[in-house]
Amino acid sequence: MNTIFDYLIIGAGLFGASFAQKIREHGKTCLVIDKRIHIGGNTYCRNEEGINIHEYGAHIFHTDKEDIWQYVNRFIQFNHFINSPLANYKGQLYNLPFNMNTFNKLWGVNTPEEAKGILEKQRKAYQHITEPKNLEEQALKLCGEDIYRTFIKEYTEKQWGCSTTELPAFIIRRLPFRFTYDNNYFDDPYQGIPIGGYNLLIANLLKGVEVKLSTNYFDNREFFDSLAKKIVFTGCIDEFFNYEFGHLDYRSLKFEHEYLKINNFQGNAVINYNEASVPFTRIIEHKHFEFGQQPHTIITKEYPQSYQIGGEPYYPINNEKNMKTIKQYKEKSIYYSNVLFGGRLAQYAYLDMDDTIEAALYLAKKELNS
C-alpha cells in the first residue's frame, strides 16, 4: 500500500467517519484506520439474537442543531425513542429528570406551586453561596437538601470515585430540571435511535471509503505518516505526543452483560441506581431502545472504574491538573500543521454525538476551503 491519500484518518468513530464522508463527497481521497476490530468507535453495537447491545455505554442521539439532524437523516432514519430514565433509590422508583412526577413521589405534592414552595424553602438555606466552589455546593444551591441526598450525592461519588466536594461544579449543570409532568430527559427537539442501529449509520457514512481495522497507528507511525498529505488524529492526544507532558486522567467503566430468558426485565431502557450500597450506577435493557419484541432480553450493569493505560478511556476528568496538561498538548499541536486533532479523545472533552459530528463537519469544511 503506497498510495498517497489526501488524508489518513486515525479512528473510525463518529468523528473520523463524518470527516471522511464530507471530504470524500468533495472529491478528496482518504484512508481510515482503526485499532479496534470494528468501525463506529464508542457508538458500536454488538448484535446478539436480534438485540443491539451498546458495547461502550448506552447511546441516545439527541440534538437541537437543525443542520446536524438534517445531515444524519441523509444516512439513516431514527425511531421515536425518548429517553425517560428512572432512578432507583432504596427500592423506590422516581422519574428523571427532576420533574413533577419526581416531586410527587418524593414529597406527595401535586402542583408546580407546591413543588416550588418546598424547593425554594430548601434552596434558601444555600443562597449565601454566590460562586459554588464544588459540585456539592452547586447541587445544594440548585436542588436543595432532599434531591441532593436522594439522587445526586451517592450516585455522583460512585460515578467519579471521589467526594462531591472534590468535583467541579459544572458537572451538575448537565441535569435538567422542570415543573411539568414531562419525563423526557433531554430538552432537544430531535431525538431517537438509528433504525437498524448505529453500526449502519457509521457504515453509511463510510460508504466507498477504504477502511483498515485492527490497525494501530502507533505500531508503524512512519509508514502511516508516509501514506497521506495530512493526518486526522482522533485518538488520545497524550499518546500522540508520547506522554511528554504526562498522562491525562480518565474515568473508566466496566460493563457486565446478562442474557435473560424473560422478555422484559425492567420495563425501561435505563434505570439508575442512586444509592452507594449498589456498586453499579445503572442497568441498561437494550431491547427497549428499539422497542424489541424478542422472547429474551439482555441487560448491562455499568460499574464505574478507575482508568489504567490500556483500558478504555471514557470520561475526561476536568480538574486543574488535567486542564493544565491538555493546554500544554494543545499548544504543542499547533506546530504540527499537517496533523488535525479532533474528536473526544484528541480534544480531551466530553462531546455528545451531535457535537462530535458538528466539529468534524466544521473541520472538513475548513479543509475544503483552504
**Catalytic site positions:** 174, 178, 251, 282, 302, 350, 352
Residues 7, 231 contacting (CB under 8 angstroms): yes
Give the DSSP letter of residue 248: P
Q: Report the partner that residue 152 touches, choosing among ligand UDP, ligand FAD, none (CB closer than 5 to 8 A by kind).
A: ligand UDP
| Interacting residues of 268 by C-beta distance below 8 A, sequence separation 6+ | 84, 85, 86, 285, 288
Interacting residue ranges for ligand FAD, rule: CB under 6 A: 10-16, 33-36, 41-43, 57-61, 216-218, 234-235, 314, 343-345, 351-354, 356
Q: Which of ligand UDP, ligand FAD, none interacts with 34 (beta carbon under 5 to 8 A by kind)?
A: ligand FAD
Using rule CB under 6 A, residue 87 touches ligand UDP: yes
Q: How far is the CB of 89 from ligand UDP (least distance, A)?
A: 9
**Within 13 A of 127's CA, how many CA atoms are on the CB side?**
7
Instruction: Please tell me the count of residues contacting ligand UDP according to CB under 6 A.
Output: 13
25 CB neighbour count, 10 Å cutoff? 11
Strand partners, 253: 304
Question: Which value, to the nearest 10 degrees, does the dihedral of the CA atoms of residues 191, 75, 40, 19 take?
Answer: -110
Q: Quickly list DSSP for 279-319.
A: S-SEEEEGGGGGT---SSEEEEEEEEEE--TTS---EE--S
- The DSSP element (H or E) to which 87 belongs, if any, is strand 86-89
The span from the CA of 24 to the CA of 365, in Å, is 12
Distances (CA, A) of 239 to 54, 167, 314: 26, 25, 15
* The entry of ligand UDP, ligand FAD, none that residue 141 binds, CB within 5 to 8 Å by partner kind: none
Q: Does 152 bind ligand UDP (CB under 6 A)?
A: yes
Q: Which does 13 bind (CB under 5 to 8 A by kind): ligand FAD, ligand UDP, none?
A: ligand FAD
Q: Choose which of 150, 159, 325, 356 interacts with ligand UDP (CB under 6 A).
A: 159
Q: Which of 162, 175, 203, 323 binds ligand UDP (CB under 6 A)?
A: 175
Stretch 272-311: interaction string toward ligand UDP, x if CB under 6 A: x-x-------------------------------------
The residue from 61, 69, 151, 217 that contacts ligand UDP (CB under 6 A) is: 151
Q: In the bound complex, what is the minimum distance in angstroms from residue 235's beta carbon to ligand UDP? A: 21
Binding site for ligand UDP (CB under 6 A): 87, 96, 151-152, 155-156, 159, 171-172, 174-175, 272, 274
